[in-house]
Amino acid sequence: MALKVGTLAPDFTLPATNDKKISLSKDLAGKPCILYFYPKDFTPGCTKEACEFRDQFAAFRNLEVDVFGISRDSVESHKKFKETHKLPFELLSDVSGSVCKAYEALIPIIGIPKRISYLLDKDHKIVAVYQDFFGAEEHIKAMLAKLKNL
């Protein structure tokens, strides 16, 4: 089950592919963003999803919305994934899974992140959630549709 629309997103600080730590409350204060959780770098569904976010990135930037991908992969793996697929957004490494868990994005027992996307407004309230483990491309369509209706 995902976090509910209308609730405040849990704060976090995670290492990113730009060799910095990204903090929701500090670095993204007053900015809307999309946090998309995904299982693993270089897997077919995750690659398709990341590349779709890449291909639609201009639309998100035009709406002044930052995009961040989060999984339990290491920063090193994320850097290779980002470089290989020319991703224009940061990937955040949640090796411990604590942020995935806080966002209800962790499959119990096996500890793999679910495929779930959250749209946060400038106050970091959740305004949209999309969850579909197999529909990678649908996450992007759902987020863009919600943004255009705000």
Q: How confident is the model at residue 136 (pLDDT cuts 50, 70, 90)?
A: low
- The DSSP line for 39-107 is S-TTSHHHHHHHHHHHHTHHHHHHTT-EEEEEESS-HHHHHHHHHHHT-SSEEEE-TT-HHHHHTT-B-
Active-site residue among 33, 46, 51, 100? 46
Per the structure block, which two tokens stand in for 49?
A: 């999803």
The kind and range of the H/E element at 149 are: helix 136-149
- pLDDT, tens digit, 9 for 90 and up, residues 104-127: 999 988 999 999 999 999 999 999
Domain ranges of the chain: 29-149
- How far is CA 120 from each of CA 10, 27, 107, 140, 141, rounded to the nearest angstrom? 11, 14, 22, 14, 16
- How far is CA 81 from each of CA 5, 29, 41, rounded to the nearest angstrom? 30, 27, 6
Q: Strand, helix or coil at 118?
A: strand
Q: Does residue 130 surpass a pLDDT of 60? A: yes
What is the value of pTM for the model shown?
A: 0.91
Gap between the Cα atoms of 138 and 41, Å rounded: 18
139 vs 127: which has the higher pLDDT? 127
Q: Strand, helix or coil at 8?
A: strand
Tell me whether residue 51 is one of the annotated catalytic residues.
no
Supply the pLDDT for residue 125: 97
CATH of domain 29-149: 3.40.30.10
